[in-house]
Structure 1
Amino acid sequence: MNNDKLAKLQAQVRIGGKGTPRRKVKKATKSTGGDDRKLQGALQKLGVQPLGGIEEVNFFKDDGKVVHFANPRVQAAINSNTFAIHGRCVEKELTELVPGILSQLGPDSLASLRKLAEAYQSAQGGAAGGEDDDEIPDLVESFDKAEVEDKAEEKAEGEAKA
């Protein structure tokens, strides 16, 4: 390699003065602790108190999805009508949580659940209805009448063979 090219590369890489370590990229450290401290300070001004015994929190969206918090940390200031919920959340479909959340549903959520159920039934009915028509014919006559006719056909075939 050429010494001139090597000297140019070294001049580009050095960040500090002589004797400092050479790095190509200066990485900026991001601290998220400052935001959390600001949030906690604002909540303390409101006088929030921790609420215990809450195992899960669900937020119902208009599009039929649910924001689900399992084992959240909940703080509340009743006088200012402020609630803070901390923890990991997962966005799930309403159908995934239905058995466990029926007691939590309000009138709006029940209406959306009905719409979802109707859409599901129509989708299942349309797909299953087409398949069922191909495999199983509709019942036209009673079973008793068909059985009598089958026995008469078997008797006629037996006489024809003899």
Structure 2
Amino acid sequence: MDVEKLKKMVGAVRTGGKGSIRRKKKAVHKSNTTDDKRLQTTLKRLGVSAIPAIEEVNIFKDDTVIQFQNPKVQASIGANTWVVSGAPQTKKLQDVLPGIINQLGPDNLDHLRRLAEQLHKNAPGAAEVATHEDDDEVPDLVPGETFEAASEEKHT
């Protein structure tokens, strides 16, 4: 830390000039426990209940997977609310995919296959072939023409 910056910080604490007393009121630091208590009361209002014995939770988002190992999972089916608490790890889909495939059922496997196809299409270097047969776009106008004149020429 810079000495001049430190002197400025010390000077900002004083109420008067040099030799005067310091502030008597301490700055109160708000703790995160109040936020946690607020969250827990809101979750109680929704009627969530704990779901035991879940070893792993994977949340798929685009080409990444947010993975929780041994999370605390709570759910309220009526409120369509799921709460996953724990330490998340963000990983690429390609790294996690081999370990996840054996855990999926047939419905989820189809969904994962569609996701992989979509990622393959959007991969860098994949060429998109555009067809202009059924293009319903507005044609480019020559400078000086108007839309009305161009549409009259097209219909005649």
Partners of 1:118 and 1:35 in 2: CA distance: 43
- When normalised by structure 2's length, the TM-score is 0.55
Instruction: Indicate the SS of the match to 1:75.
Output: strand
Partners of 1:111 and 1:87 in 2: CA distance: 29
Name 1:32's counterpart in structure 2: 32
- Assess, with a 3 A threshold, how the Cα gap between structure 1 residues 119 and 56 changes in structure 2: closer, same or farther: same
1:110 to 105, 110, 113: 113
Instruction: Indicate the SS of the match to 1:80.
Output: coil
Name 1:80's counterpart in structure 2: 79
2:94 counterpart of 1:91: no
- Report the CA distance between 1:94 and its aligned residue: 0.6
Give unmatched runs, 5+ long, in structure 2: 1-7, 127-156
2:59 counterpart of 1:59: yes
Instruction: Indicate the SS of the match to 1:112.
Output: helix
Cα deviations by residue, 1:68-124 (Å, 9 ceiling, x for unpaired):
11111001112222211111111110111112211334433221224556888x99x
Partners of 1:96 and 1:73 in 2: CA distance: 24
Higher mean alpha-carbon deviation, 36-45 vs 71-80, is at 71-80
Aligned-residue identity in percent: 35
- Report the CA distance between 1:20 and its aligned residue: 4.3
Name 1:100's counterpart in structure 2: 99
- Assess, with a 3 A threshold, how the Cα gap between structure 1 residues 30 and 100 changes in structure 2: closer, same or farther: same
Name 1:142's counterpart in structure 2: none
Query: Alignment RMSD, CA only?
Result: 3.4
Query: In 1, are the aligned partners of 2:14 and 2:21 still within 8 Å (CA)?
Result: no
The letter for the 2-side match of 1:89 is P
- When normalised by structure 1's length, the TM-score is 0.54
Partners of 1:13 and 1:111 in 2: CA distance: 60
Name 1:42's counterpart in structure 2: 42
